[in-house]
Structures are given as structure tokens and as C-alpha cells.
Amino acid sequence: MGVLVWGWFGYHSMPQRKDPDIPVRVAVAFCSWPGATAQQVEQFVTRPIEDAVAENKTIHPGTASDYGVRSVSLPGAAYVYVQLAENVSDVKRQFSDINLKLNALSIQLPQGAGPISFQSDFGDTAALMLTIASPKADQTEINIRAREIQSAIESVRAKKKHTEHGVPVAIVYSFPRSISPATMLDAVQLFEQQADEQSILRTPQAISGSGFIAVDGVSDKDDASIHRFVEAFFQKQLQRSDLHPDGWTPIIIRDARDVRAKLTDVAGDKYSYADLDNFSDLIGRTVQGAPETSKVERRGLLPQVVYLEYSQDRLAEYGLQPAALGQVLRARNIIAPGGAFETGQRQILINPSGQFESRDAIGEVAVAKTSTGAPVYLRDLVKIFPGYQAPATYLNYYTWQDPTGQWQRSRAVTLAIYMRDQQQIANFGQSVDEKLSQLKQILPTDLIIAHTSDQPLQVKENIHLFLRALMEAIILVVGVSLIGFWEWRLALIMALAIPITLAMTFGVTYMLGIDLQQVSVATLIIALGLLVDVPVVAGDGIKRGLAEGLPRGVAAWLGPTKLATAIFYATLTNIIAYLPFLMLSGNTGEFLKSLPIVMTTALLCALVVAMTFVPLLGYYIQRPPARKESTIEDKRERGFYGFYNRLVGRAIQHRWSVLLGSFVFLLIGGFAASQLKSQFFPEDVQYWFYLDIWLPNDVPLSATNDTAMTAEQVVRKVIEAAPEGGTKEKGAQHLLTSVTSFIGGGGPRFWFSISPEATQTNYAQVIVQVSDKEATPKLIGPLQDELNKQVPGAWITVRQLQTNPVETPVEVLITGQADTDPRTESDDIRALRAIASQAMDIVRQSPGIAVLRDDWSPDSPQMKIEIDPDRANLVGITNADVATSTAAAISGNPVGIYKEGNKDIPIVVRLRPQDRARLSQIENLYVNSSQENVKVPLLSVATLKDILETARIRRREHFRTLSILCFPAPGVLASEVLAPIEPKLIALKKSLPPGYQLQIGGEKAKQVDGFTNLAVVLLISLVGIYLALLIQFNNAVKPLLVFAAAPYGAIGALIALAIMGTPFGFMAFLGVASLIGVIVSHVIVLFDFIEEMHEKGEPLERALPDAGIERIRPVMITVGATILALFPLALEGGPLWKPLCYAQIGGLAVATFITLLLVPVFYSIFVLDLNWITWETVGDRQGATEAEATTT
């Protein structure tokens, strides 16, 4: 009872996870350098950071399968990723050392670059993702807006006398009420002019009101033509990023009574980005208070900005420069101490006013004087309005289904919530839910809070699934015991021994700090057959003792102890077979670390139970058989035992023919095994999968968002057309649950094997959640096909979640080490691209490719401003003046901070949109001197030149590396893609010029490393088992005889994989390797019976079948129990465990035949033919004794 309570306590106290906790020893250093090209960033920022990082001595050695230091240099930004070696235990200390080195480097970087930001927690995986999204504007808001707009249009039209041919048409744009329509008048006037010139609208007239602005006129154009004009105007006359993100799509109104219906069709989100910022901040701070929460990160925030938009001519009227506005604002907007004044016993702080209390106060700042001395205020020179960062660099969207069944796409902010170490995931989920429930009375009731990644739910389901498989396996094992012994008492002992063993195992593993996750629970299922083996042997010994007439106490003690040596060595060999797996390195070793620990613990617990609890239970439960047990002589002649006796006898007589036949079996099995496909690790089957979307480097965020929207539509279309399965999440109505998109970078690391992409406008990650995880693999193929057809110009890959991180299934790495001279960098890049082009042509020849790209992308167009130093010097203009003026005009120049609550909102000065909408307008910019009050046209000191530049440079282990990335079509393995092209790639490698290297990475490199690692572990296991057998038998030959059965079990495992159509990968290799211990343990006990017969003096030809007869029942029971126990894991444990289960099922089935039939044949050959083992009968011993006596 104490053991059961201990086991219950250990089970409920163990930390629970879906997967083992795998430390990701990866950090990333980020450094910005605005205005620098990718090549400048590489030379002056990336390389120094790489060199500083490399000073740490614990960096992972770079190989084709993994990296130590890699980087990507982009225009204006550098990302350097560093990975520590697997054997590093003090990760935080090493990352702190690297951080100190980078801090020291920051002061040495070029002017304008830095500081370096080092993210040491880059490898942390979020336990929960909460996506906070806005619903669409409700009907109340739509009705209010519709009434105001309709009234304004009708009022204007009522005053007009329509003499023009056509019908009245109004183009209406709605935006937040916090924005004054006056800030848009310049753009509206330009729109009126363009519409009139192109005969889209005649007699246009602007209409404005709270939250909307419209242009009403007369037109004979249809709605499609007007829409095209509006879209073209936004693209050519304004930048799309200048449109307010909270604005609604413009509508065309002919009949004013249609306003409400038209607004309903285009209604935007109810809550603004600022609202979502506030909501998510409150939720994040609340959830942070949960005791199990370590940190909370927010993704998808769009920073607020206060814009000051100016006209160059307007500022010139007062002799002002944009930079002067910043000086005035900084002098006015201050937070500075005014001193302290002491009055007796009190001290009064002097607090000078000056900080902007409202946005309107910004416009009240006097910046100049008129000729009469009257002050000129900032509001008179610039348009002041609140907005958001433009262009945006990172956005988050959430696609959900409303109550009417329509799919809606809303702006969102995602919270990544991380759990503290050694915490119960169930308690974590419950604490977060409790914190969220506290906010129900504060947050809007219609605010969407979705669990877009939910580890607590995954763990609950996964643990339940594996525990159910464990219970099913226990029932099957007990059932096999009942059938095998055909005696309920002995089956009851097995039924009691298994829970006691498992309880003891849970107690010990809890003390060892093992988590409850899929590997530890699956190990118990795999171990069940081995756990049963020892009690079965012990119980069978008790049964034989009682049958021989021994008293219950003697039989209960003598039955197990009589075979104690054999049981001990059988257990030892199984432990030796599994324990070396602790030596596996890398993520694979971390993932499987609990397997050898739990297996060893379970085997030792089973041994303890067999030697203590089984005798105790046997004494109280077992009874002498009602009828006398059949003698060995009877068994030789009757039933199945008689058949087995005759079969073994004939096999021994024709032993060489049987041996030759077994070799034929090996050859046939080897041929079947050679046809197996290869896959390192299978992909996981979960409720989530995701899309990687890449576009050319020069694509803006708006275009990436458009591509992502198109991809989302394809996802909805394909999933809605797919047949729905029957394993939906509780409460799910449809197969598609939600779509969460991160535009401009990767989302949080919600799965340990996914490495989030850095912020870059040409990338998007779309996470798809379905209600039936079994449908996920079936959706990948149709989705990939449709995306390839319907989304041209983008590289979109549909990715399943992975058990073992392989970023790219097929990868060809081309590294250039010839850049010895900085002046030849362009030549080196051209050489890399040329080699990559050849490699891509080779890879393209392989069938079954879904997506093929390189990780640099083509060169991007850039406009280079070539400054004439002579002309610039003459007018007092510097290169810095040119860069500052163009950047301020186009992108904006921060000139101050406006504080609102706890937020610092930048104040940005920039040129008005109509003066910077087109690239050609750069020619009209003025350059302001920082030294004198001088302003000259840009073209007077510089010329503009269009060029192509490399916009992305990747490096690996300190050298430029261009990779060919290949993703197989669904259903095609990476090994199948690589096989036909690998010889050609090797030939290309041999032909490369000096200084260039080609490596095959991806799954192939991972598999080579993993299999090599496992082969070393297997060799250590074999040596360990051999030494144990050498000690047991005190004979160097008998262990070889034991090992002779192992190849047949391995071939049986491979045949089983071939029959089931399962690729050979790491887990299958693991299953084959672990078979050796099971096979050896069975042979050991058989040898013990053979030796027992030998001690009795039986002839070899009789002893071998007799030993098999005595051992056949426990072997059949143990193997049957093991095989049946593996079926629930194979069927319900997911694709990860299927290869291992099938390998062990096939291997054990063959090994049973080998143990009971071929081992006696091998033994007879060793004794009768090879004379490697001596066999003495009773007659031999008597003759030897008589001869000795005669001699004496």
C-alpha cells in the first residue's frame, strides 16, 4: 500500500509537458544601422559581432547539419545567431559572457550603428499564445456613421443644380473620429483635381464630417472604373502606408439611402490599434501575476506616432528647416528639475511646466515671427495629427468565424506567455484562465481573446492519450497472461505486480526529476513486456515448485530465487541495451533523455517486485494444481509440446540445412530492407500547421500582407472543401478553427522546433488551427498545390510541426572563402550566385519538388544618390546633410516625445504625402545645410542613379554562405528528392574553384550525424552486453552464440517496416537497437534451462528441446504481451512512435522463433560440429570418475 501511495504522489507531483523540455541554446544579436547597405552592414557590423561572439569557447562547432554562428545582413540591420555546444550546462553564464563582449563592441561600431541588442532567451518556447483581436464595427456605430454621411450627402446635393450629364456619385472614406478631416484637405483637393482631369467626377465637391470625408460629383462611369481610379490614386499620388490603418475601405454612393448597406460591407474593426495596445497591456500585466508565469511578450503592436507634415515651400517662407522644428520642440517639451526650496521643516520641489499635456499643445508652440512681429505657431506651418508608424514593419491579424458563419479578418495583438521551469502545465493553464476571468468585468464583452496555441490543452490530451494506451496495454498483458497460463491465480499475480511496478517506477522517476511527457509514458508502454518478463519467470517458477509438491512457502521462495542469476543478467542486459542512449547528443539526445532513465528504473523496479512482492503474492494467492503437472516425458509426446519437440529434434538433425535456410531468410530480409525509404524523423500530427511566405527582398509590408490575405483565402477554400473527420476538438463546429498571421516577421516560438524569422517586410508566417488533427497531413498536399497555382510570385511552403528540428528538408550550402580582399567582394558574390545557379539547376531536375528557392533572393533595385563633392562644398552642403534631408523628407525625422499615460509617443516631422508619393519626386527635394541657413535643390549637388544591390547576405561560420532550399511535395520524402541528384552535386563540388565549398545539409546531414551517434551507442551496448555475458557464463564463446540470434530479430524488424510502408529513420533504428537487449534476455533464461538440463546429465539432443519446452510458455507469454502492448502505442501514439513499435513488433515476432528454434540449432553446431562448447553427459562423467579412480 505504501508503494502505491508513493507512486500516486509521484505521478501527480511530476511536472507535465507534451514533449520533453529541450533547451534551445540559441541567442540572437541585433544591430541597426539606418541607411547602410547590406554589404556595409556585413563588413562593419556583422563581421565584428561574429568575431566578438566567437571569442566565447563554448560555441557549437559548425557542421553541415548544424551551425555555431550564422548571420543575415540586411539594409540597415544585422542579425547574428549564436548556438552553444550541446554539452554546455551553464548556458546563462556563457550568454552573459557573450553579452559583455558585445557591449564592449558597441562603442567601436560606425557612427549611427548600434547599440547591439542581445536576446539570450530567443530559444524559449511559449506555453500559451493568446491573440487579442477586434470584432468588426457593430451595427450601432455603422448606423450612426450612416446617418451622418447620408445627411451630409443629401444636404450638399439638395443645394446643387445638376446641369452635367450623368448621375450623382460620392466617394466616401471613413476614419477614426479622433482624426480631424482638415488634415486630409490637401489630399482631397488633389483627388478632386485628378478626378476632374480624368473625367471620373465632374463638378467635384468635398464633404467632411466627424470621422469621414467625401467627394461628391457627377459621373457616367461604372463602379468598377471608379474603384480602379481610387486605387490608382492611392498608389501613385499617395503611399499606401500613409493611409490611416484604422480607416475603412472607400465606398461609392449613388443613392444616399444606400450608405448603411455599403458601410456594412466594408466596416472596419471596432477597436483601434491603440485600443488593442491598451487591452493587451492590461491582460499581459494581469497574466504576469500568475505564479507559474515567467514572462509575457506582445507581438503585433503598431506604435503610435504624432506626425507633423510640412511643405517645403511653406517652411521656406519663414526661413525654417525641418531640423529647426526639432530644436524648438525639444526646448519647449521638457521634464527637468527646477530645484528645491526649504521653508522651515518642509522642502518644496520646484517643477517647471513645459511638458506637452495634450496633442493640441504641440501646435501652440511658437516657431517664428511674421514681418510685423506676430508669433507664427507650429499649427500654422504644419499639419499635426495622431497616427501610427508608417510604413509599418510588423503586423498581426486573426481570422475567425462570426456567428453568421462568415470569416472575418481582424487586426490583432498576440501575447506569448512563458511558464516557469518545474511547474505543472495544468496549474499554469488554470492560473491563466483565472486571471482572465478577473478581467471580464473590465474588458469589452465583444473583445476576442483566442487561445491560438495552447500547451495546457495539448498536454492534457496527449497525457490522456498515452495513459489510455498504457491502460489498454496493461489489460492486454494481463489477458495474455491469463490465456497463456490458463490460470486466474497466476494472472491475478501479474495483474497486481504490474501496478506495483509502475507505482514504484513513478515514485523513483519523480525523485530523479523526470517530467511526465510523451517519451516517459511511451517508455513505460514499451517496457511493459520487459516488466512482465521477470514476474512471469518468477511466477512460473512458483507454479513449477508447487507442481513438484513443494510447500507454498518453499515454492514461493525457491521459484524466483532458483532463476535469480538468469533473471538478474537478463535485466542487466536490457539495462545495458538502453542506458547508453543517455550518450546521444543534440536535440535528439535531449528529446530521448528520459527513455533510458525511465526504462532502467522500470526494469530495476520489476526486478525488485519479482524478488519481493511476487513471492509474497504467490504465497497467498497460488495453490498447488488440482491435478498433477505433466512430466517432461509426457510433454515430449503430446500436443504442441510434442510438435515442438519433434521440430527441434529434426532441426538439430539437419542443422546445417536449417542454418543455410536461415541465411536465405537474412538475404531476403536484407533485400526487402534495402527498399525501405529513409526519413530522419516523421512530422508531428497536431491541430496546427503553418505557412512560410517569402517574397522578393524589395517587397513592402503592404504587398506581403496582400499575399498573405490571398494565401488565407486559399486555406479557407481548401479546408472548407475537405471532408471532415471525427476527432474534432470539443465544441468545434467546422474543420477550420482560426488563422493567425504575422506579417513582417515570425510569430513567437510556439513550438520548440520552429525558429522564428527576424523582422523583414518580405516574410509572413500564417498559423492555421483545425479542429481535427488527423486531417492535418491530408490537407498539406491540396493546400500546397493550390497555393502554388493561385499565388504567383511568392515562395509559400506549407509546413507541419516537427518532432526534431530540421529547418530545410533538402539544403545545399555553398560557402565562399575567397573574399581575401574587400575590394573583390562583388566578385565573390557573383561567384557564389553562379555556383548556386548551377546547383539549383541540378536540384530542379529531381521530381517531387514543391518549393525551390535560395536564401539570398535576387538583387533589389535601389536609388543611389551620388554627391558631387565640389558642388556640395561650394554651397556648404555635406554628405550627412543630404542623407539627413532625404531621410527626414521621405521616412520622417523624430524630433521629440509626447507622453500619454505610460507611453512615449514619438513626434515625427515628414514631408506631406503628395510631395513624396512617387520616386521621381525625390528630384524635387531640398537639402538643408546643418552649418548655415542654406537650402539647395538636391539635383544641384547630386545625381540619381538606379542600381541593383544585394539586399540580403547570409553568412555561416564567418563566411558568406548561399543555400539552396528545397521542400519536397507532400508525400515525397527528402531522401527521395536527394537520391537522384546527389551524385551530380558531388560532381559539382569537385569542380568548384579554390576557396568555394559545397555541402549537403538539411535532413541528410542530420540523419548522418544521428545515425553515426546511434551506431556508437549501439556498439557500446554490444560491448557492455558481451562483458556481462562473459561474466555470467565465464565463457568467451557462449556470448557469441547469444548474439547470433540478434541479426534475425533486426531483419524481422526491417521486414515489418517494409510491410507497413514505414520509412526507416532514427526511431526505427532505435527500435532495432533496443531489440538486442530483449532478444539476449530471452536467450539467457533459455541458456539457464539448458544448463539445468546439462547438470542433470541429459544428452545434448534431448536437453535442447527439453529446455525449450520448459521455456516456451513464459517466452510466448512475454513476447505476446510485449507485442500486444505495443499496438496501442503504434495506433494512438502518433507518427513518432510507429516506426519504433513496428520494428519491435516484427523483431520480437521473429526473435521468438529464433530463440525457440534456431538457438538450439546454433547451440548444437557449436557443440557437435565446431567443438567450441564442451558437453558432458552422465555417462561421460561416470567414465571420467572411474578412470580417475583407476589411476589413483
| Mean pLDDT confidence for 507-535 | 83
Cα–Cα–Cα angle for 838, 841, 847, rounded to 5 degrees: 150
Cell representation of residue 1129:
502505442
Give the count of beta carbons closer than 10 Å to the beta carbon of residue 1173: 17
Q: What's the rounded mean pLDDT across residues 36-54?
A: 93
3-class SS at 342?
Answer: strand
Eight-class DSSP state of 60: P
Task: Say how far apart CA 1164 and CA 1175 lie, in whole Å.
Answer: 10
Residue among 1141, 1054, 1070 at smallest CA distance from 671: 1054
Residue 957 to residue 47: CA distance in whole angstroms: 11
CA distance 910 to 930: 17
User: Distance (Å, rounded) from C-alpha 207 to C-alpha 171?
Assistant: 10
662 Cβ neighbours under 8 A, 6+ residues apart? 1048, 1158
Q: Give CA–CA dist 930/498, Å, rounded.
A: 84
pLDDT at 318 over 60: yes
In the chain, the percentage of residues whose pLDDT exceeds 90 is: 36
Mean of the per-residue pLDDT values of the chain? 86
Q: CA dihedral in degrees (196, 202, 205, 208; nearest 10)?
A: -80
In tens, the pLDDT along 994-1050 reads 889 999 999 999 989 888 888 898 899 889 988 988 888 888 888 888 888 888 889
298 CA to centre of own chain: 18
Say if residue 303 is preceded by a cis peptide, omega within 30 of 0.
no
Task: Judge whether residue 483 has pLDDT over 80.
Answer: no
pLDDT at 635 exceeding the cut of 80: no
How many whole angstroms from its chain centre is CA 358?
44
Q: 639-682+1001-1185 with 688-802: one CATH topology?
A: no
pLDDT of residue 1178 exceeding 70: no
pLDDT over 90 (residue 433) = yes
Q: Please list, residue by residue across 825-840, b when 16 or more beta carbons sit within 10 angstroms of its beta carbon and e when fewer do.
A: beebbebbbebbebbb
Residues 376 and 367: their CA atoms lie apart, in Å, by 6
Model pLDDT, residue 349: 67
The pLDDT score that the predictor gives to residue 620 is 77
User: How far is the C-alpha of 708 from the C-alpha of 712, rounded, in Å?
Assistant: 6
**pLDDT of res. 364:** 86
The architecture in CATH of the region 639-682+1001-1185 reads: Up-down Bundle (1.20)
Indicate the burial class of 637 (C-beta count within 10 angstroms; 0-12, 13-18, 19 or more): exposed
User: Which has the closest alpha carbon to 1026: 1048, 1044, 1049, 1052?
Assistant: 1044
Which value, to the nearest 10 degrees, does the dihedral of the CA atoms of residues 267, 268, 269, 273 take? -160
Rg (CA), the chain: 38
Reported as a single tens digit per residue, the pLDDT across 46-66 is 999 999 999 999 999 999 989
**What is the Cα 647 distance to its own chain's centre?**
55
Lowest mean pLDDT among 672-676, 731-735, 1153-1157: 731-735
Do 352 and 338 meet the contact criterion of CB atoms below 8 Å apart?
yes
At 31 the pLDDT is 95
pLDDT tens-digit series, residues 901-924: 888 899 998 888 877 777 777 777
CB atoms within 10 A of CB 657: 12
Sign of CA dihedral 980, 984, 985, 986: positive
**Phi/psi of residue 6, each to 5°?**
-60, -45
Closest to 69 measured CA to CA, from 100, 114, 61: 61
In angstroms, what CA-CA distances link 489 with 262, 492, 552, 609, 622? 79, 5, 14, 17, 6
Query: pLDDT category, 1121, cuts 50, 70, 90?
Result: confident
How far CA 1038 is from CA of 1033, 1043, 1174, in Å, comes to 7, 9, 11
Per-residue pLDDT at 841? 95
Kindly list the distances between the CA atom of residue 341 and the CA atoms of 335, 353, 354, 553, 676, in Å, as whole numbers in the listed order.
18, 17, 20, 97, 87
Contact 200, 233 (CB under 8 A): no
Position 41, amino acid: V
Whose cell is 546511434? That residue is: 1014
pLDDT tier for residue 338 given thresholds of 50, 70 and 90: low
Is the pLDDT confidence value at 684 over 90? Answer: no
**Residue 165: pLDDT band by 50, 70, 90 thresholds?**
low
Residues 885, 878: Cα–Cα separation, whole Å: 11
pLDDT digits (tens, 9 = 90+) for 83-135: 999 888 888 999 999 999 999 999 899 988 889 999 998 888 899 999 999 99
- Rounded CA-CA distance 1005/989 in Å is 16
Backbone angles phi, psi at 217, to 5 degrees: -165, -160
Q: How far is CA 790 from the centre of its chain?
A: 26
Q: Residue 863 has what pLDDT?
A: 83
- Average pLDDT of the segment spanning 537-543: 75
Give the pLDDT band of residue 896 (cuts 50, 70, 90): confident
Q: Choose the CATH number for 25-122 among 3.30.565.10, 1.10.357.10, 3.30.70.1430, 3.40.50.720.
A: 3.30.70.1430
Helical segments of 791-911, H only = 825-844, 869-874, 879-890
Domain range summary for the chain, segments of one domain joined by +: 25-122, 139-266, 639-682+1001-1185, 688-802
Q: Which of left, alpha, beta for 328 (phi over 0: left; psi -120 to 50: alpha)?
A: alpha
Beta-bridged to residue 16, according to DSSP, are 516
CATH 3.30.70.1430 assigned to 688-802: yes
Confidence band of 728 (pLDDT split at 50, 70, 90): low
- Secondary element (H or E) of residue 960: strand 959-968
- Range among 4-18, 72-86, 520-534, 1043-1057 with highest mean pLDDT value: 72-86
CA distance 476 to 305: 67
**More confident position, 229 or 639:** 229
Question: For the whole model, what pTM was predicted?
Answer: 0.88
Three-state DSSP class for residue 247: coil
Residue (of 878, 879, 849, 853) closest to 864 by Cα position: 879
Confidence at 7, pLDDT banded by 50, 70, 90? confident
Burial 1071-1106 (b: 16+ CB within 10 A, else e): bbbbbbbbbbbbbbbbbbbbebbbeeebebbbbbbb
Cell numbers describing residue 162:
445638376
pLDDT band with cut points at 50, 70 and 90 for residue 455 = confident
Compute, in degrees rounded to 10, the torsion defined by CA atoms 1108, 1109, 1115, 1117. Answer: 170
Q: Output the nine-digit C-alpha cell for 590.
A: 535531449
Q: What is the pLDDT of residue 614?
A: 78
Q: What is the CATH number of domain 139-266?
A: 3.30.70
Find the length of the chain: 1192
- Residue 385 confidence (pLDDT): 85
Q: In this predicted structure, what is the pLDDT of residue 874?
A: 83
Range list of β-strands (E), 222-315: 251-253, 293-299, 304-310
What is the per-residue pLDDT across 947-971, written as a single tens digit (0 to 9) for each? 888 999 999 999 999 999 999 998 8
Cell readout for 748 is 513567437
How do residues 574-619 score in pLDDT, each as one tens digit? 888 889 988 888 778 888 889 999 999 999 998 888 888 878 877 7
- What angle, rounded to 10 degrees, do the helices at 455-485 and 518-547 form? 20
Q: Grid cell 510631395 — which residue? A: 915
In this structure, the dihedral spanned by the alpha carbons of residues 164, 167, 168 and 171, taken in order and rounded to 10 degrees, is -120
CA 803, 805, 808, 810 dihedral sign is negative
Q: Residue 570: which pLDDT band, with cuts at 50, 70 and 90? A: confident
| pLDDT tops 90 at residue 639 | no
Q: Give the pLDDT of residue 1181.
A: 52
Angle, CA 993 vertex, CA 988 and CA 996 arms, to 5°: 80
Rounded mean pLDDT, 987-991? 94
Confidence of residue 341 (pLDDT cuts 50, 70, 90): low
Tell how far CA 487 is from the center of its chain: 51
Q: What percent of the chain has pLDDT over 70?
A: 94
676 has a pLDDT exceeding 80:
yes
Task: Give the pLDDT band of residue 810 (cuts 50, 70, 90).
Answer: very high
- What pLDDT is stored for residue 164 in this prediction? 59
Q: What pLDDT was estimated at residue 61? A: 92
Rounded average pLDDT over 656-673: 89
Q: Identify residue 1071 by its one-letter amino acid code.
A: G
End-to-end Cα, the chain, rounded Å: 63
pLDDT exceeds cutoff 70 at 1076: yes
Q: Which of 157-161, 458-462, 726-730, 842-846: highest mean pLDDT?
A: 842-846
Question: Is residue 264 within 8 Å of residue 248, measured between CB atoms?
Answer: no
Q: How many CB atoms within 10 Å of residue 770? A: 25
How far is Cα 616 from Cα 473, in angstroms, rounded to an integer? Answer: 25
- Return the sign of the alpha-carbon dihedral for residues 338, 339, 341, 347: positive
